[in-house]
Every structure is written in C-alpha cells, then in structure tokens.
Amino acid sequence: MTHPSSQGRAPRGRAAGGGSRKGLPGSRHGGPHGGPHGGPRAGASASGSSGPLGIIVLDKDAGLPSNRVLGQVKRLLGVTKMGFLGTLDPLASGVLPVFVGRATRLIPLFEGLAKTYRVTMKLGERTATFDAEGAVTERRPLGDLTPERVRAAILAKAGRQRQTVPAYSAVKVGGVPAYKLARQGAAVPERVREVELWDLAVESVELPFATFCVTCTAGTYVRSLVEELGLALGPGAHVTALRRLACGRLFTLEDSVTLDGIGEAWKAGRQEHLRNPAAFLPEHAPLRVTPETELHLRDGRTVLLESPAPGTIPLAAPGGAIAPVSGDAAGSVSGGEPGRAEWVAGQAVKALRSDGSLIAVGVVTAELPGAPPGRLGFRPNRVI
C-alpha cells in the first residue's frame, strides 16, 4: 500500500479482526464417519476438491458493481464457486479480494478486517447517493470556506463515532436491499452503526475538491463520511472518486492484479495471481501433516498434537476411536521453528501439506474426551 505524503495527519486507532466438536469415546470400532479402527472413510480425497483454489487480490476498475466483476472472473477461470471480501461501489476501484473454489469457506475469517481508502470529494453539491453516481439534490456556494478549515474538519473525524447507513446501500430491509427500495421512492428506515476512523491523512485541498486517505473498521461507509463532512463544513459534499488501497495488512494494491492481467495470465497457462490462502494467515501456527492424516482431517477428526511415540499421530474420531497413523504433527509450528511443539489451548492453527498448500484451519483444544489426560489436539473447523 502506498503511503501518501500528507499535509495533515490524525492519530492512529486500533483495528479488530475468529466450534467445538464432541470427541473421543474409547471404542476401537470407528464412528459413523470412519472406517474400521477409526480410519478415513472410503473414497475420501486427499486434495478434497478439483479445479482452481486460492485467493486473488483483484484491482477492481471503477464503473462496475462488484458482483459483475466477480462474474467476469468466473468466466475467465471457468469456475462457478467464488466470493469476494468487502463490496466496492460501482464508482470505486481498488483492492477486492476474490476467493476461488473451496477457499470461499475462509471468507468469514477475514470479514472483520479494516479497510484503507483514498477518497476525493467535491464540496458545494449533495447527491441522493452521496457520490457522483446519484442525482444532485442540492447546490450551495462555498462562501468563505478555506482549505485550512477543510483539512481541520477531515482530521477531526478520527475516532469512534456513530454513522448513518446510506439509503442507497446493500443493507437489507425485510430481505430487500435498501438501494432497491430507495430507487422505487419507498421510505428506507434509518440505520445507525458504530464505526472507527484512524490514519486520516489529507493529500490535497483544491476547492471545491479535497483528497484524503482514511483507514476504518469494516462496515464503514466512506460516502456517509463525506456527506457528514459536507454538512459540517456548510456547503455539502459528495464522493467523486474512491480507491481502496488495502484490506487489513495483507491484501494490498502492491500485490494486486487487474482483470486484464488475470485474463492474459490464464490464457498463457500461468496462475501466479491465484495465491495459497495460507499466505494470508500469518497468525495461524503451521502444522504439516501427511496425506493419510489429511484424510482424517477431512473426516472432521481431531489430531492429537503430543505423540505417545515418535512418528505417530493419534487421531480422534467423533463418536469413534483413537487411531495412530504416521506423520509429522510436531514439525514446524509457531514462528516456523522446526521441532518446536509448544502448543497452547485456543491457539489458531493452519494444517498444511508438505508443499505448504492449505488443508484446513482450526484451533488447539484440550477438550478431548477419551484421550489421555493433559493431551492437546488440533480441531479443524474449516476444511478446504
């Protein structure tokens, strides 16, 4: 992400971004999901899926809704199962993380990520949608408004605050997107949510335009922020350009690819834009497992992290047995330090194949009925 040199800067705040399974009676005959002795069910696939799987950090062009852009990516890759993180308005461009194939199961892990934007607003005009897509509803003269007042008003918006959701938004009212009701002229109930803004940095003020950057909590409407600024300054305002620079710290413009770039790479047989989801989970401790262990994880079984003997991983079948199989569960863990196996209950973990590709995410658990006392296990809660 680029960090523009600013003529003013506000203090930084904080951003925020997280199943249980019954386990382990002592029977040696496998549970309803297992084969004899708690083994994997017949026909289970080590890969778990076919077709492309991964995350694309897309640089969305302005002018198209996010859903339409997603449809274009689907057609380029020939994949039907896809989703994205954080809708961008048609007017907006920038970072739109696209989850491909079974990687869509990971989207909830990222929904709380903060977003960083560069926004340009025009003072002196208000619109129905709070941006240039909507009809102008009011024009006012700028009067004695100065660039200094504009900068001060922008920086003063840092901190926690209540924000009104625009009537033209995707928020549903009785199951119907609010923007559809607004287009029909129907009344849209006012909705207010708490948001937080930080790292406000003014890039330029050349009246009637002003450009600034802001980082905000998930669910913040930059259009509403600009509407509020315009009213506070007097003449009103609306968004004329909006670019998302980042989602959290890992989805950034520096690592993004355009729609044209995806198409060119795909036609050439290259998939460098389709990234391993494990790369976006740095706070999850890595757990490397064998293909046999992967089959058990896909059956929803818990891997006991402390082996009773070198080279064995006891596996816990829900409603079934503990079945030892060979593996390397105590391999590279927190911080990537080989041989370190200092697991802590509640710790986030990502299960990986030997090539580093992601199998599942889950947590370290001490809730292992039927296992020896004091043992910890890895419980998968999202398997891709």
Active site positions, annotated: 89
DSSP string, 159-191: EEEEEEPPSSSS-EETTEEHHHHHHTT------
Beta-strand pair 237-247/93-100: parallel
Angle at 189 (CA atoms; ends 186, 190), nearest 5 degrees: 130
| Continuous H helices in the chain | 66-77, 107-110, 147-155, 178-183, 222-233, 259-267, 291-298
**Backbone φ, ψ for residue 257 (5° rounding):** -140, 145
Cβ atoms 206, 94 nearer than 8 A:
no
Cα separation, 355 vs 278, in Å, equals 11
Cβ atoms 234, 39 nearer than 8 A:
no
Cα separation, 197 vs 201, in Å, equals 11
Cβ atoms 303, 296 nearer than 8 A:
yes
User: Residue 246 is inside which H or E element, if any?
Assistant: strand 237-247
Cβ atoms 347, 355 nearer than 8 A:
no
| Continuous H helices in 248-310 | 259-267, 291-298
Cβ atoms 85, 99 nearer than 8 A:
yes
